[in-house]
Amino acid sequence: MGIVKKMKSALISVFHKDGLEAIVKKLNDLDITIYSTGGTEKFIMDLGIDVVPVEDLTSYPSILGGRVKTLHPKVFGGILSRRDHDGDIAQLNEYEIPEIDIVIVDLYPFEKTVASDASEQEIIEKIDIGGISLIRAAAKNFKDVICVSNMQQYDEFLNILSENDGEISLTDRKNFATKAFAVSSHYDTAIFKYLNQDFNHVEFRESFDQSSTLRYGENPHQKGFFFGKLDELFEKLHGKELSYNNLLDVDAAVQLMNEFKTDAPTFAILKHNNACGIAQRETLHQAYVDALAGDPVSAFGGVLISNKKIDVATAKEIHKLFCEVVIAPAYEEEALKILKGKKNRIILIQNDIELPKASFRTALNGVLSQEKDTITDDKSMLKQATNIHPTDAEVEDLLFASKICKHTKSNTIVLAKNKQLFASGTGQTSRIDALKQAIEKANHFDFNLKGAVMASDAFFPFPDSVEIAGLAGITSVIQPGGSIKDQLSIDYCDAHNISMVFTGTRHFKH
């Protein structure tokens, strides 16, 4: 517990008043002197509770349109004074500065203001100065002061205050100080990221103020956590908690399906971050059936995602498969009942929110960060490489395959036909191996590759890939181009009636 200290005074300056009433009444019951200012002061007065205006303490009014209210030595001296330091106590007495034992702050909602598309001036005005200063001062002096730094801490603080009749232990004061510096660092990071949207300053700053403890990490012997507001992206309707590996697969599924967000009904099945099946059809039911046909073996235990509302016919088919997660923008009521038939199956509604524009990962003794690959190959980007042109249907298939290729681990080759994934070679150390793996897999599931297309995430350094593909029945190829030996592949395609287009964009994924 540490040293227990009786609280005698409190300074309250909050933006959100929700939940504050019970704390104010408890402070009053415990005869704790309350100081406040502005809207918080009025809120307390309206409760019929005595409150000392900060202006009476400092002998200065709130100035500059409220920008300066608590920034004064009589406020910060009372917070920062060391109660066991004779010099500090002497100065408090000399300048008639009261000790302040409790500081309760809830900062201006900077992030919400940014998200609301407010003007720059409105956003700048929501950068809290006095509040953040109070938080840092009170947290620094946790030996004598407790700092409540946001409204999410109100209930915990009220319980401590009530259970101990206004006496608070050093352990609790230090715990709240730790939370306070987490609040202040997150707040400053949000401001920096807003001002640095163009990445003019190459500094790595990331902060998440919500976290979830997972059952374990990638393996049972590893601890795992998720940092972020997952409930903003998903509404969970059913099932067990998402695991570390579930979240990786869900992320891969969401990123892939974003490519088909506004397209015709599209269904994808993913396993270990790669699509093992995906198809686009006139009905969602047929899209699912054909996606499953791509690899019904790997689909077992996979993550399923749709770009359209899941109907009853589709739900009945899904229910036959053991799958970990189902994601869709919506579900028909009866379809949801069917899917809930497996108690552990995780069912999510995906909300339409903007995803981060950058990605990062630990590497060696630091962090790698990059812009996300936001380029999606389309018709306007295609450069005809061969004398033979792809048909309109082949162009549609080439772009379909290219989208899948972009979200498959390198080295990868994707084979598709009639907007259905036939097979892919994933994560191979050579492009030839990826192609051979894809062909073998397509043949295993009895797909006829004659007239199918091939997508590659990077250029072909030699013509051997297009030769093998042509012998397997591939009639059209999409690739970035850029090899010094591109002409060898072009010549082979022209000689064997294979069309090929270049995109000029590589899509490695490691």
* CB 292, CB 242: distance < 8 Å: no
Query: What are 39's two structure tokens?
Result: 């809207």
Residue with tokens 């402070």: 27
Q: What are 193's strand-pairing partners?
A: none
Alpha-carbon Rg for the chain, nearest whole angstrom, is: 30
Dump the DSSP string for 411-453.
S-EEEEETTEEEEEE-S-SSHHHHHHHHHHHHHHTT---TT-E
- Most distant CA pair in the chain, distance: 97
Which positions are catalytic?
Answer: 140, 272
Dump the DSSP string for 159-203.
HHHHHTTTEEEHHHHHHHHHHHHHHHHHHHHHHHHHHTTT--S--
> What is the phi-psi region of residue 165: left when phi exceeds 0, alpha when psi lies from -120 to 50, beta otherwise?
left
Report the alpha-carbon distance of residue 28 to residue 24 in Å, rounded.
Answer: 6
Q: Say whether the peptide bond before residue 418 is cis (omega within 30 degrees of 0).
A: no
Long-range contacts of 467-474 (CB under 8 A, 24+ apart): 467/492, 467/496, 468/432, 468/435, 468/436, 468/439, 469/435, 469/439, 469/498, 470/496, 470/498, 472/439, 473/448, 473/449, 474/415, 474/449, 474/498
Query: What are 434's two structure tokens?
Result: 């990826």
